[in-house]
Amino acid sequence: MKHIFNEVHYELTRKIAEGGMGMVYEAVQRGIGGFRKKVAIKLIREEYSAIDEFRNNFIGEAKLVADLIHTNIVQTYHLGKTGEQYFMTMEYVSGCNLEEFLERHVETDQYIPADLAVFIASRICRGLAYAHRKKDAQDRLLGIVHRDVNPKNIMIAMEGDVKLTDFGIAKALDLMYNQEGEVIAGKDEYLSPEQARCEITDQRADLFCCGIVMSELMLGYNIFETPQPEKTIENILEMPLPNFSDIRPDIDDRLNLIMHTALRRPRDERYQSAEEMLTELESFIYGEGYGPTNEKLAAYIYDVFSQDGENAALRWHRGETQFAPQ
């Protein structure tokens, strides 16, 4: 039986982020009987909506993530069009992105507690593991590779949930608009060696990027990044990895080995799946019993963002420090 429903109504309440190709808004979805739901709206600029490549890429992203329903991935609810502009309705995450979280620790001159840094990395791996093994309706493995795992694309909710977002340059079965071998897809300072060399990637590329993010969570800076993009890429390809324990003493030998394994250049020597890396991380933090939880992370985040005083704490509690998917 076929039913035709009225169009969903959205009220844009504030702009959260703006980039070269589009904007992200906080919005309220309205329905009958006073129904209200806070959502995020990702809107592609009208001039880019008119270009086949960008429009198809945007639509491809929405179709790819529509069925990615997992606690560690920002959910996409709807793909629509208003006038000549395409938009996606997405889960609204009240909290901050990982870049903001890292910057807060630099501002306050403190390390992220090691167990919470590993916990955050493990939740990223959980989201990647789910995406990597996702199949389509014909039971074909989609072969998703995110290719853009970096702090701006990782959200932390007030409740302590860690969520991966922005599959805009992901590749998958029947979806690849940025042809590997011709262009570098991803941010220079968060590339796997395969991406830096314009090689064909698989899921192990995302694990190297996750390793970069984890080392940044532990140290407070990206070990490969320099002001010169060429030098940054050279570092990713060739720079000897430090002994992380020498930089931060509470990184023990076991954690140092986990970080080194994630960052091995030959992909056959790296973790071979997100599940394998996840197992190592969770064994590390839970091997002796009780370990970090969403609730512990939530309490810690509230404390970190309240160090400027009561007003900052209240803003965090009300969700006014929200950063949505880019």
Position of tokens 């916990």?
119
What DSSP line would sit under 207-234, residue for residue?
Answer: HHHHHHHHHHHHHSS-TT--SSHHHHHH
Phi and psi torsions of 166, nearest 5°: 60, 85
Position of tokens 């939880």?
293
Q: List, in order, residues 6 or more apart from 176 with CB less than 8 Å away.
A: none
Phi and psi torsions of 165, nearest 5°: -140, 180
From the list 148, 166, 188, 206, the catalytic residue is 148
Position of tokens 């079965």?
173
Question: Has 161 been annotated as catalytic?
Answer: no
136 within 8 A of 142, measured Cβ to Cβ: yes
What DSSP line would sit under 244-311, residue for residue?
Answer: HHHHSTTS-HHHHHHHHHHT-SSGGGS-SSHHHHHHHHHHHHHTTS----HHHHHHHHHHHHTTT-HH
186 within 8 A of 148, measured Cβ to Cβ: yes
Element (H or E) spanning 315, and its range?
Answer: helix 310-318
Phi and psi torsions of 159, nearest 5°: -85, 0
- Chain-centroid distance of CA 308 in Å reads 27
**What is the distance between the alpha carbons of residues 104 and 302, in angstroms, rounded to a whole number?**
12
Three-state DSSP at 156 gives strand
- Chain-centroid distance of CA 296 in Å reads 20
Burial call 308-317: b when 16+ CB within 10 Å, e when fewer: eeeebeeebe
Catalytic residue ranges: 148
